[in-house]
Structure 1
Amino acid sequence: MLSLALVLVLSQLPPPLSPEAVARFEAEKVVLLPGLVAKYTCEKPGRKTPHPLCDAAQGEQKGTAAEIRGKNALMGLTWAVKRGKSGKVEVSAPWLSGLALNKDSVGVWGAITDITPENAEEKRMLGRLAKDFAAMLEGRKASVKRPAYIDELLAVWSKTANHLVEQQDTAWVFKGTPITLRKVGERWVMLGAPKNGEGILLSVFTP
């Protein structure tokens, strides 16, 4: 069975970032987001199917803190982005992630997790699924057929979401962290700081 490995938030508060780490993240973000826009020609006139990272890279300008209702378990892709030795933007291969957003009478509760394999067969299956998700986000596939047990596992995991998510201007923010969520079109995009403090993390989630 697949495991849902903690990446940012699950059933406990993430370790707080030091003021220095937050400042480093903010400084990296200012450089890396425009770098991604240039790398993937996100602002090219007439482009019909921009790279999915364009939504995340331009989320601060184009995204909104859309209304969240009920219980939501979404799936998508996450990329690690950093500056290489030459100063150019380097983007990792994407991996599958899950997002939970649950609203109750108290507020909105969230969680984000990696979806990781436990054996070689699952590794191959998740690799194919990640490629299918990338093709869908890039407009090369209309939809992705997910194994039912992955949706079932995400639905169970999503019930554990207990990190408060607060609305601040045009974003939802995981309280006490620099992690932000915005809706761009029909997709939710996440901008966060990786555990190792190097670069930034960007995710794109769909229902």
Structure 2
Amino acid sequence: MNWFSILSHESYELHHHFKRFSHSKKLVLAALLSAIAAILQSTGNFLPGIGYFISPFATLPILICIIISIPFGLQSYVLTFLLLILIQPGESFVFLFTTGVVGLGIGIALLIVKRRIGIIVFTSILLTGGICFLLYIVHFPVLGPVASTSPSLKVIGFIYIFSFMYSWIWAELSRLIFKKWSKLMVKYR
């Protein structure tokens, strides 16, 4: 794997494909993907156990919205947060500073930064900042009993390593998803 290569040419192709969509079509897609993201994020509370493995996939609808259009991706991010306030208020801040941030970070970085290492570092810094904000400023135990809410450089280092690995997994997963999606679009044109 080349860390300095462009991660996914397919994401640019999809972005240009979605530019041809009308404003109302993009709006409907953003609303639909926001609802899906809110449902996925809230599965952790609705389905204890397996729901915690499903809820990280709330990143994907936000990522897709960003690829459609950055403004619509930001609208989808805010709309998902507002939906979560209604459905699961406890999950709304977790989404706002962790799951949603990963989708925003990877999507924006795919369109602007383009290089694999830049995408991963940008997203991991955003995720580390979000987790540290929840943990140390809001005193929300986002990591459970693993980390205390008092600041520690050692814990912040581990959070960054986790964020880097998590961002790397999502960057590679998004590359695979966009490749498959692009092949489907070529097949059914």
Q: TM-score, normalised by structure 2?
A: 0.27
Higher share of residues assigned helix: 2
Task: Using CA pairs under 8 Å that are at least 6 residues apart, name the structure with larger relative contact order, 1 or 2.
Answer: 1
Q: TM-score, normalised by structure 1?
A: 0.26
Higher share of residues assigned strand: 1
